[in-house]
Amino acid sequence: TKVRRSDRLIDMTRYLLERPHTLVPLTYFSKRYESAKSSISEDLGIIRRTFMQRQTGILETVPGAAGGVRYIPTIGRNEASDFIADMAHRLSETDRLLPGGYVYLSDLLGTPEVLRQIGRLIATQFANQQVDAVMTVATKGIPIAQSVSQYLNAPFVIVRRDSKITEGSTVSVNYVSGSSARIEKMELSKRSLQAGSGVLIVDDFMKAGGTVNGMRSLIEEFDANLVGISVFAEGKFAGDRMVNDYTSLIRVDDVDTKTNTLHAVPGNYLDYNQAMFKGMDA
Ligand SMILES: O=P(O)(O)OC[C@H]1C[C@H](OP(=O)(O)OP(=O)(O)O)[C@H](O)[C@@H]1O
């Protein structure tokens, strides 16, 4: 029996939301609802318009026989700005400051809604780039990488600072870690990355940038290419950071070890993506 338009719209929306960055042929929906392609096209027009108006995302249409539709998750400027302001406020709570200017984030990075929004924000910035893999370093970066990976429909790979036989043979690099100028090692299973793949680096926190820099050299070792770098928060760092082209959602701009407080403000994400957000409103 034919499926009514209202029922089709609900089921198509769910189907698309669950498959970001995935091309779905119109014929798939025609068969699923036993409806003409012209009806399905009208359905998709309604979904596209509503997604646009509510800033749920973009419904791309790929023409031709091998064509179809692809849902690109995005976040609107206002929702992004509100979330970032909320996170900056949360980080400025007392008792988050840790020795060495690090910040306690594990409660936030264990909250599903926070992880969803972080993933959506970072995936929005890279929605139109060729990201074949999302890379992070164990441990606290992993939930962020998983969330970004889900929104971009790209696998995530975990770099480790320890050797595990369960990772098989690995490529390893030495890197200068943080302000302590210690040499550390990080490695990635050889099976994780193909040469030439586009890699997005994400992490929960960047201080001196040594960790991110280590991941950059790992990407070079794999003959892969760096698409971008995005971190949830960046610490206050006096020295010259080894990394400069990155986005951060939050920036720690003041640390007072006497009163054990820190002040966090929005990072450079909104400024960096101003043109992108303007394009969405157009
Ligand atoms: O910019 P840098 O000076 O290199 O510091 C940023 C590192 C340090 C910290 O990881 P750790 O807390 O050391 O390790 P884990 O994530 O496993 O807790 C954080 O998650 C980044 O990866």
Coil, strand or helix: which one is 20?
strand
Quote the Cα angle for 165-170-172, to 5°: 120
> Quick one: pLDDT at residue 276?
94
Instruction: Give me ligand 1 centre to Cα 224, in Å.
Output: 23
pLDDT of 256 above 90: no
Q: ipTM value of the model?
A: 0.97
List, for residues 167-190, the tens digit of each pLDDT value: 999 999 999 987 667 899 999 999
Pick the atom of ligand 1 nearest to 178's CA.
Answer: 3
Mean pLDDT of 41-69: 94
Per the prediction, the chain carries an average pLDDT of 94
Q: Is the CB of 243 under 6 A from ligand 1?
A: no
User: Quick one: which of 59, 65, 54 has its CA closest to 26?
Assistant: 65
Find out whether the beta carbon of 138 lies less than 6 Å from any atom of ligand 1.
yes
pLDDT tens digit sequence for 75-89: 999 999 999 999 999
**What is the whole-number distance in angstroms between the Cα of residue 204 and the centre of ligand 1?**
8
Which of 53-67, 123-137, 170-184, 256-270 has the lowest average pLDDT? 170-184
